[in-house]
Every structure is written in structure tokens, then in C-alpha cells.
Amino acid sequence: MSDKALRLIEEKAVNKSGRLIIPFFLCREIARECGMPAREVEALALVNGICPSRYERNIGTFGMEGQARLLRSRAAVLGCGGLGGWIIELLARAGVGEIVMADGDVFDENNLNRQHMCWEENIGMSKAEAAEYMVRLVNGAVTAIPRAEYIDEKNAFDMLNGCNVAIDALDNNKSRSIALNTCQKLGIPFVHGAIGGFFCEAGVFYRDDQPFWEAEDVPDRGIETCTGNPPFTPAFVASVQTAEAVKILAGLKGQIKGTLLWFDLQHLDFQKIKLPVRH
């Protein structure tokens, strides 16, 4: 079927400013005709030098190969609230082919100030189900895999196995430890993010990196229990996390390693902190 799909792609591609482009809706038609996932048709076009129209503005940054790699990758987003809602939409727009979206919570009125997928009309709706709906609206070629459950020791392996990266949009350190330990056993990069008031942090943990939250004097939840979270802080650090995840998945340069990024958005302060290594 891939031979037939490629022939159809080549027939329908048009030259636009020196680049071969195929409208994304034609990729969907070819996928249906050939019985293939839409993301595979888009990736097939890319590796053969033809860009699906929806990714035109990505290619200058990701490259054709990088975009194809995104379409053939799987990311897990752990938490679909303040951070997770933004991350999930950004991944879908970037063209990450499969997104696992895990959250056992439903939307509450106090989520309206900052959670991207929370509207007045969907209070009480499952966050994971809302994420699946949003992905379908944004990029129908992406496979959305909702899991309306919190990550724990019983489901962590099943949730993360087969993923190329896991992204931390959690709100407590106990869950982070479970997720990170599972990622380190599986050899999956863990893209961390946390927010509280004007403060936020982000970093990528690999197999031997030790997080600061494992120290005995670190509480399960941070300063957000006092400061809350305004609308802009989750959007900011979610963008940083998504950039790191995309660099990992697309094989791009400049990935963070061994470093935690810390931001103070009130005073526009920024620091890089070296991560300790497990012994």
C-alpha cells in the first residue's frame, strides 16, 4: 500500500516557492484509499521530499527528516491540566504522531484561570477526554490515547512502555518519582516541569540524573499551595518543555542535559542549575 500511497502523493504534489507541497486534506484522502494511518502518509511524503501543507512553517526549524521523525514518535503527557493542556496542543500542532494523555481528574471551577482546555461549559468533564477531543480538532492525523487515570506503581510501566519521551505535567512529587523511576528503567527521557506563582522550572532527566525532589526535606507539593498559579506561568514553562521534547523526538541539536532551568517571571531572572548524578 505504501507504493500506491507514494504514487498518489507524487501525483498530487504541487511546486510552491521551490518546494513540493501536498495539501493535508489530500493526505487524508490517500490514507483512507490506501488503508493507512494519516500520520504514516504524511511521514511517507516527507521522507520523499514532499511537505504536507500543515507543516510548511515547521520545516525551516525541524527539517523534513525531523518532521517525519515526529510523526513516527510517541510521547506521554502525564497530567492534562495547567501544563498538560498546553503541552498536548503544542505536540499535536508540531505533528507528534501518538500522544498518550494521562489524568484521572475532571475540570473544576478553579481551573478556569489557567487550564487551556477548561471552559465554563465543560466543568466536570474528564481532562483526558477533553484532551482527546482537542487533539482531534487540532490535528486529525495524530493518534490521541486518553487514559483517565493517575499514574501509579501499578500502571506506570504499561502507560510509558513504547513511548519515546515522557513529559511531566504532574502536581506532586510522589507521582513524579514513580514516573521518573519508570522512565529511567525503560531508558526514556523525562521532561520535567513545575510551576508556582511567578516561578517555574524545567529540565530533562536521563537514566543517571537525580532529581532534587528526592531529598528528605522536600514536600510533596511546592509553593503553589500558597501562591497558586496565574494564567501565564503554565503556558511559559509548557512551551519550554515542549521545545525540549520536540528536540529529543526530532533529533535536533541543543538538548538540555544535566541541567535544571529555573525562571522567576516577576523579576525576569533565569538560572541554570547542575543536576546531581546517582551513585
Task: List, for residues 55-97, the tens digit of each pLDDT value.
Answer: 999 999 999 999 999 999 999 999 999 999 999 999 999 999 9
* Cβ neighbours of residue 99 closer than 8 Å, sequence gap 6 or more: 74, 75, 76, 77, 88, 91, 92, 135, 142, 143, 144, 145
| pLDDT of the residue at 222 | 61
| pLDDT of the residue at 112 | 93
If asked whether residues 13 and 89 sit together in one domain, one would say no
Q: Which domain, by its residues, includes 23?
A: 2-60
* Cβ neighbours of residue 279 closer than 8 Å, sequence gap 6 or more: none
Does the residue 16 lie in any domain? yes
If asked whether residues 111 and 169 sit together in one domain, one would say yes
| pLDDT of the residue at 225 | 65
| pLDDT of the residue at 212 | 84
If asked whether residues 28 and 77 sit together in one domain, one would say no
- Helical pair 56-71 and 82-94, crossing angle rounded to 10 deg: 100
* Cβ neighbours of residue 7 closer than 8 Å, sequence gap 6 or more: none
Supply 158's cell numbers.
504499561
For the chain, the C-alpha Rg in angstroms (whole number) is: 19
If asked whether residues 83 and 117 sit together in one domain, one would say yes
If asked whether residues 21 and 113 sit together in one domain, one would say no
φ/ψ of 124, rounded to 5, equals 95, -10
Supply 116's cell numbers.
487551556
Does the residue 68 lie in any domain? no
φ/ψ of 221, rounded to 5, equals -125, 155
- Helical pair 232-250 and 56-71, crossing angle rounded to 10 deg: 60
- Helical pair 38-47 and 24-34, crossing angle rounded to 10 deg: 110
| pLDDT of the residue at 156 | 98
Whether 226 is catalytic is yes
If asked whether residues 112 and 165 sit together in one domain, one would say yes
| Options 34, 51, 183, 226, the catalytic residue | 226
If asked whether residues 101 and 140 sit together in one domain, one would say yes
| pLDDT of the residue at 223 | 63
Three-state secondary structure call for residue 210: coil
If asked whether residues 96 and 156 sit together in one domain, one would say yes
- Total structural domains within the chain: 2
User: 178-213, pLDDT tens digit by residue?
Assistant: 999 999 999 999 999 999 999 999 999 999 999 888
Chain mean position to CA 175: 18
Q: What is the mean pLDDT of each run of 10 residues along the chain (279 residues)?
A: 91 92 96 96 97 97 98 98 97 98 96 93 96 97 98 98 98 94 97 95 94 71 72 96 98 94 95 88
| pLDDT of the residue at 213 | 81
Does the residue 109 lie in any domain? yes
Q: Which residues pair with 190 in a beta bridge?
A: 166, 205
